[in-house]
Amino acid sequence: MRHGLTTRWCNALQTWRRKLKTWRKFHLEANEYSEEQLLAMLEEEKLVHKRVKMLERIHQRYCTLRSNRERLEVLKFGKKP
């Protein structure tokens, strides 16, 4: 394990390194990543690359996915009119 991360996270980080080198490539593939993969990418970026713009973009995408998931979880309890 690197930086105290679990095996699952390490696998996600390996995917990150293979797939993502630039913002342009991230932008083209952003819809393919899961919350877990994005969180792993964010950790890798924080610990290794430290690129502010990439941190912003990855965090933005992660928050969008998380917000959508949480919204669906909340709406399950609502009544349809």
Q: pLDDT (tens digit, 0 to 9) for every residue of the chain, 81 residues total?
A: 445 556 766 666 666 565 556 777 777 778 888 999 899 889 988 998 888 998 999 999 999 999 999 999 999 988 877
Amino acid present at 12 = A
Residue pointed to by tokens 């690197």:
2
Confirm whether 11 is domain-assigned: no
Which domain, by its residues, includes 47?
A: 21-75
Q: To which H or E segment does residue 61 belong?
A: helix 52-75
Confirm whether 67 is domain-assigned: yes
Confirm whether 38 is domain-assigned: yes
Confirm whether 7 is domain-assigned: no
Instruction: Tell me how many domains the chain contains.
Output: 1
Full-model pTM = 0.68
Residue 42: phi, psi to the nearest 5?
Answer: -60, -45
